[in-house]
Amino acid sequence: MHSIPGFQNGGATVNGDVFQESNGPTDAYAAIAKADRLTQEPESIRKWREEQKKRLEELDAASKVTEQEWREKAKKDLEEWNLRQNEQMEKNRANNRIADKAFYQQPDADVIGYVASEEAFLKESKEETPGSEWEKVAQLCDFNPKSSKQSKDVSRMRSVLISLKQTPLSR
């Protein structure tokens, strides 16, 4: 047998035979394991990633719990607000009914042009006389000027209603 220059006797064979000398492990899976070890993260980074993942999961869970608590609190607050609002509206309605009743039962209601009671107004409204519609509207309106900084100026509307009462529109 011929030897190839540069090889020791029996160190290698020619024509595709495996060399006896090798640069690394001969097992194919051992080579993969060695490559994995070389590309693997250091232990400290792997621990940090695991801790970070755990911490983020805990934060997500806490966030979901907090969000659910806020939703429940908001729902409770909204229900309480609706209850208070409904109670206030009922009180206002009752107060308005009392004020309306007192308004229509004033001692000088006939003198100042107000309807003595709602029943009287309904009775008069059934007695249709042509051209008296604006008089009925005028009976319901308060034509005494009220000067208040908070109220709107309705003097023009008052004057329009008075003029319609005196000279109704012709059809």
| pLDDT tens, residue by residue, 65-111 | 999 999 999 999 999 999 999 999 999 999 888 887 776 666 655 55
DSSP code string of the chain? ----TTS-TTS--SSSPPPSS-SS-SSHHHHHHHHHHHHSPPHHHHHHHHHHHHHHHHHHHHHHHHHHHHHHHHHHHHHHHHHHHHHHHHHHHHHHHHHHHHHHT-TTHHHHT--S-HHHHHHHHHS--TT-HHHHHHHHS--S----SSS---HHHHHHHHHHHHSPPP-
Query: Per residue in 151-168, pLDDT tens?
Result: 777 788 888 888 888 887
To the question of pTM greater than 0.75 for the whole model, the response is no
